[in-house]
């Protein structure tokens, strides 16, 4: 008789958290609201479209932004002074509400940067940074969300790895997580490139196999 296969003693592994979608964008040269922008596939998907399904104009983008957040998003995309990362809500073409972080790396008139869909991930990622460094009592969620989003976009990593990288910086520098996050967000808001701010603060790069 054929041998009976041995029963595995391994426990099922929990499903990995899905990484957030990240899209890149660039404004047209003329800056008009009706001229198409350059969107990567991720930008279309975040807004509920198939890649290339619509003409990605500024007017279309703003139409999906929640009314309460629209002015802040418009300012971030059209202000030559730059505004830093903006956390905002949008409703995609399939009527799904999403929470995103807008990171403008180059200000208007040739605005470009990243949009990170943190709808599912940001709560857990921000909490991991806070719990590892300062405990839940001192969490300043909005600033930590933005810091995680900057690392996600600049380092091309998922939110879990971004949280780990921030925690390593906190541990190595003997600073608390809120101080590191605030310094990072303020530096990017003041116009410093995200990669430069991360290097200056000592946020390590991802470990690649």
CATH number at residue 81: 3.30.450.20
Structure tokens at 79: 């202000």
Its domain, for residue 88, covers 21-117
pLDDT score of 107 more than 60: yes
109 and 133 housed in the same domain: no
53 and 134 housed in the same domain: no
pLDDT, residue 82, reads 62
Instruction: Give how many domains the chain has, as a whole number.
Output: 2
Tell me: the pLDDT tens digits for 29-39? 776 667 899 99
Which residues fall within 8 angstroms of residue 32, CB to CB, at 6 or more apart? 58
111 and 69 housed in the same domain: yes
pLDDT score of 6 more than 50: no
Closest CA to 165 of 116, 192, 201: 201
pLDDT score of 106 more than 70: yes
pLDDT score of 46 more than 90: yes
107 and 144 housed in the same domain: no
N-to-C CA span, the chain? 44
Domain boundary among 117, 140, 173: 117
105 and 143 housed in the same domain: no
pLDDT, residue 129, reads 59
- On whether residue 16 sits in a domain, the answer given is no
Model confidence band, residue 156 (pLDDT cutoffs 50, 70, 90): confident
Query: What is this structure's pTM?
Result: 0.53
- Yes or no: say if 114 and 103 are a contact pair by the CB < 8 Å rule: yes
DSSP track, the chain: -PPPPPPP-PPPPPPPPPPPEEEEEE--TT--TTSPPEE-HHHHHHTT--TTSS---HHHHHHTB-GGGHHHHHHHHH-TT----EEEEEE-TTS-EEEEEEEEEE-TTS-EEEEEE-TTTHHHHHHHHHHHHT-GGG--HHHHHHHHHHHHHHHT--HHHHHHHHHHHHHHHT--HHHHHHHHHHHHHTT--HHHHHHHHTPPPPPP-
138 and 194 housed in the same domain: yes
Domain boundary among 117, 134, 157: 117
């Amino acid at each position: 008789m054929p041998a009976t296969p041995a029963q595995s003693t391994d426990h099922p592994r929990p499903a990995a958290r899905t990484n957030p979608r990240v899209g890149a964008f660039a404004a047209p040269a003329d800056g008009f609201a009706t001229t198409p922008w350059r969107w990567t596939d991720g930008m279309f998907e975040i807004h509920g479209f198939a890649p290339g399904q619509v003409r990605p104009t500024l007017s279309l983008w703003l139409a999906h932004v929640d009314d309460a957040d629209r002015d802040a998003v418009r300012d971030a995309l059209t202000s030559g002074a730059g505004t830093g990362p903006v956390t905002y809500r949008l409703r995609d073409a399939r009527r799904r509400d999403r929470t995103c972080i807008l990171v403008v790396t180059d200000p208007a008139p040739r605005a470009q940067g990243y949009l990170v869909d943190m709808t599912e991930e940001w709560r857990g990622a921000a909490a991991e940074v806070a719990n590892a460094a300062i405990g839940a009592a001192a969490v300043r969620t909005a600033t930590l969300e933005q810091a995680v989003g900057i690392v996600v976009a600049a380092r091309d990593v998922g939110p879990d790895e971004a949280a780990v990288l921030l925690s390593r910086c906190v541990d190595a520098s003997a600073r608390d997580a809120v101080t590191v996050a605030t310094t990072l967000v303020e530096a990017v808001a003041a116009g410093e490139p995200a990669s430069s701010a991360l290097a200056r603060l000592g946020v390590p790069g991802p470990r690649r196999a």
